[in-house]
Amino acid sequence: MCGIVGAVAERNITAILIEGLKRLEYRGYDSAGIAVIDNDGQLSRLRRSGKVAELDQAQTLEPLSGRLGIAHTRWATHGAPCERNAHPHFSSHELAVVHNGIIENHQALREQLKDLGYLFTSDTDTEVIVHLLHHKLHELGDLATALKAAVQELHGAYGLAVISASQPDRLLAARSGSPLVIGLGLGENFLASDPLALRQVTDRFVYLEEGDIAEIRRESVRIWDLNGQDVQRETVQHQDGAEAADKGEYRHFMLKEIHEQPKVVQRTLEGRLGDAQVLVEAFGPQAAELFAKVRNVQIIACGTSYHAGMVARYWLEGLTGIPCQVEVASEFRYRKVAVQPDSLFVTISQSGETADTLAALRNAKGAGYLASLAICNVATSSLVRESDLTLLTNAGPEIGVASTKAFTTQLVGLLLLTLALGQVHKRLAPGLEAELVEELRRLPSRLGEVLSMEKAVEKVAELFAEKHHTLFLGRGVQYPVAMEGALKLKEISYIHAEAYPAGELKHGPLALVDSDMPVVTVAPNDELLEKLKSNLQEVRARGGQLIVFAAEQAGLEDGEGTHVVSMPHCHEVLAPIYYTLPLQLLSYYVAVLRGTDVDQPRNLAKSVTVE
Ligand code: HGA
């Protein structure tokens, strides 16, 4: 959350900064700002509330020009999203800072700095950083030395970029808890929260590690580690193109990403399937040895990834008999946990920078877990770097704030994990692994068939245009799928949506059902189908409108108050992956009908790097 871009070059860098912010807008979009050292050596700033487009427009009217600058797109944590609170923040027109994260001791620091005579002009926690740095700079003289001293006094999380009018040839950065990457150019260098922001200028990157401080000049980069030692960090070259940040033929990134699912699922499977079994080494060279010791699995995640974890629990316990617990990271990290013996600690996160999930992983170290495994989409992320084993989901950059392809590729990764553990422990029913490997090979083309139902789903979406509340029902492994469907709908259409296990209806939520409350359900042809049908009767008997995504063989038909969208046949185990797709399309088309901002829904942001 919050996007940072910085640049030091021989040319005017404002267009590069604004383009970078546009590419980072998924991380926050309530206000944006840019600061440069202008051609007279002065700090100049432009800030706007609202999206980067507002800043861009303002910039064409009041052009800024400079060869050193920083920029920021904000997702407010402290202080309302308005121009006054937008970054960059200044101290005495000498220093400018942009920040991603939260400074927990900002109140105490603010009081100390006020006593020293500093005037505060915003309500943000960030402003204490710039005044503290200003104070240190005047004590110590050198910007890098001052930054090293200042961060010692900060409690909390930060990714920082700093420029000073008195030292106009260098860009400073500091990382603790929020990601930062340096982009290497020819005679120019850059900084950003995510390499995506810099794809138009470079494909060579250096990732900062926790506690690193960097000094970035046109011709050089210097990095100090946590202990103040000079360090060399590896330079990585990214092959994947800049086109990921374009919508192509699609109206929204979310629709593009929904349609990418056959292709990216194919990528998730690549190199991970043998003739009739999952390749255990896909989880790392020491995976086979570690998996043999696993007697329990603890899954930790947030939001959509948590729903993926819930599906995995049904798979792990149902197919392998290995016990599995799933918990949201923000709860897990703050409670005392009784660790089961020989537990594999599995984290799931699209970005690998999710603050709560990362903190849970760090707490788990030394708590008695056997090993940690990250199911993650970003190879260079903190979660991956700090875990013993990794399975990359290879979904490519996901820009739409509402997660789609990240979820389905996580499910594929978790099914591979289930089969790998089942294989190592010889706990799978005879022939099942070969059967599922075959089904996984067919999955990409089958998902393509599911997506061809788009028109039918778009039609059903019309039923929701005027509604305010919805129930999603599922039974068994389809219950987390219903939860994910409800989350999608509320995220992007702002319709209140709740998911229930269908068997729970009569214990309360049935009281809500009337003709104004659409009830959405997924009904694959599984062993719980007959029970689900009875639950649907309970809804119809109260006048509820049913929207059912049902297997052709389920014997459910359109009728008064019942809209059935027929789904192609699929293997029962893979059904959660198939049935997710129509629910994604449904929320997408409902949101389009209601005219909401599909890719950047209100109050939200992607890559939740704050608590
Ligand atoms: N705390 C700062 C930065 C917020 C942030 O990083 N959000 O993800 C602010 O509120 O401006």
| Nearest atom of ligand 1 to the alpha carbon of 610 | 8
Residues 6+ apart with CB under 8 A from 403: 303, 304, 305, 350
| Nearest atom of ligand 1 to the alpha carbon of 609 | 8
β-bridge partners, 215:
172, 222
* pLDDT recorded at residue 544: 84
* pLDDT recorded at residue 492: 94
Q: Which amino acid, 427?
A: R
Question: What average pLDDT does this structure show over 329-356?
Answer: 95
* Share of residues in the chain with pLDDT > 90 (%): 77
Distance between Cα 217 and ligand 1 center (Å): 26
DSSP symbols for 25-47: GGG--SEEEEEEE-TTS-EEEEE
| Nearest atom of ligand 1 to the alpha carbon of 75 | 7
Length of the chain: 611
Distance between Cα 72 and ligand 1 center (Å): 10
Question: What average pLDDT does this structure show over 209-217?
Answer: 96
Cβ 606 under 6 angstroms from ligand 1: no
Cβ 562 under 6 angstroms from ligand 1: no
The residue ranking higher by pLDDT, 58 or 199, is 58
| Nearest atom of ligand 1 to the alpha carbon of 1 | 8
pLDDT of residue 468 exceeding 80: yes
Question: What average pLDDT does this structure show over 231-255?
Answer: 82
| Nearest atom of ligand 1 to the alpha carbon of 77 | 10
Pairing of strands 156-164, 95-103: antiparallel
pLDDT of residue 483 exceeding 90: yes
DSSP code of residue 226: T
pLDDT of residue 490 exceeding 60: yes
* pLDDT recorded at residue 609: 67
Cβ atoms 353, 1 nearer than 8 A = no
Where does the pLDDT of residue 545 fall: very low under 50, low under 70, confident under 90, or very high at 90 and above? Answer: confident
Nearest to 172 by CA among 6, 38, 4: 6
Mutational pocket test of ligand 1: of 4, 27, 29, 77, the residue with most ligand atoms within 8 Å of the beta carbon? 77
Cβ 76 under 6 angstroms from ligand 1: yes
| Nearest atom of ligand 1 to the alpha carbon of 605 | 8
pLDDT of residue 70 exceeding 80: yes
pTM of this structure:
0.79
Q: What is the mean pLDDT of the chain?
A: 93
Cβ 128 under 6 angstroms from ligand 1: no
Distances (CA, A) of 249 to 246, 256, 257, 259, 461: 9, 8, 12, 11, 22
C-alpha triplet 234, 215, 48: angle, nearest 5°: 110
Cβ 99 under 6 angstroms from ligand 1: yes
Burial class (CB in 10 A: 0-12, 13-18, 19+), 561: middle
> For helices 143-151 and 126-140, what crossing angle results, to 10°?
130
* Share of residues in the chain with pLDDT > 70 (%): 98
Cβ atoms 548, 536 nearer than 8 A = yes
**Which residues are annotated as catalytic?**
2, 606
Cα distance between residue 272 and residue 331, in whole Å? 33
Tell me: the pLDDT tens digits for 496-514? Answer: 999 999 889 889 888 888 8
| Nearest atom of ligand 1 to the alpha carbon of 2 | 8
Tell me: the pLDDT tens digits for 4-36? Answer: 999 999 999 999 999 999 989 878 788 999 999
Cα distance between residue 441 and residue 429, in whole Å? 20
Cβ 113 under 6 angstroms from ligand 1: no
Cα distance between residue 425 and residue 322, in whole Å? 9
Distance between Cα 73 and ligand 1 center (Å): 9
Cα distance between residue 54 and residue 401, in whole Å? 20
Residues 6+ apart with CB under 8 A from 592: 251, 252, 461, 598
* pLDDT recorded at residue 377: 93
Distance between Cα 319 and ligand 1 center (Å): 43
Nearest to 406 by CA among 194, 607, 180, 242: 607
pLDDT of residue 242 exceeding 80: no
Cβ 27 under 6 angstroms from ligand 1: no
Largest CA distance in the chain: 78
Distance between Cα 182 and ligand 1 center (Å): 20
Cβ 78 under 6 angstroms from ligand 1: yes
Distance between Cα 196 and ligand 1 center (Å): 20
Where does the pLDDT of residue 523 fall: very low under 50, low under 70, confident under 90, or very high at 90 and above? Answer: confident
Mutational pocket test of ligand 1: of 2, 29, 47, the residue with most ligand atoms within 8 Å of the beta carbon? 2
Tell me: the pLDDT tens digits for 410-440? Answer: 999 999 999 999 999 999 999 999 999 999 9
* pLDDT recorded at residue 592: 96
Distance between Cα 116 and ligand 1 center (Å): 25
Question: What average pLDDT does this structure show over 266-289?
Answer: 88
β-bridge partners, 100:
159
Where does the pLDDT of residue 245 fall: very low under 50, low under 70, confident under 90, or very high at 90 and above? Answer: low
pLDDT of residue 174 exceeding 90: yes
Tell me: the pLDDT tens digits for 381-390? Answer: 899 989 999 9
Cβ 100 under 6 angstroms from ligand 1: yes
Distance between Cα 53 and ligand 1 center (Å): 20
Mutational pocket test of ligand 1: of 30, 608, 610, the residue with most ligand atoms within 8 Å of the beta carbon? 610
Cβ 127 under 6 angstroms from ligand 1: no
Nearest to 417 by CA among 316, 528, 329, 325: 316
Cβ 130 under 6 angstroms from ligand 1: no
What residue spans of 163-259 are helical by DSSP H?
253-259
* pLDDT recorded at residue 381: 86
| Nearest atom of ligand 1 to the alpha carbon of 157 | 6
Distance between Cα 51 and ligand 1 center (Å): 15
Cβ 353 under 6 angstroms from ligand 1: no
| Exposure class string for 394-432: b at 16+ Cβ within 10 A, else e | bbbbbbbbbbbbbbbbbbbbbbbbbbbbbbbeeebeeee
Distance between Cα 244 and ligand 1 center (Å): 26
Residue with tokens 């007279």: 40
* pLDDT recorded at residue 240: 60
Number of CB atoms found within 10 A of residue 238's CB:
17
Cβ 247 under 6 angstroms from ligand 1: no
* pLDDT recorded at residue 611: 73
Cβ 125 under 6 angstroms from ligand 1: yes
Structure tokens at 136: 């240190």
Tell me: the pLDDT tens digits for 98-134? Answer: 999 889 899 999 999 999 999 999 999 999 999 999 9
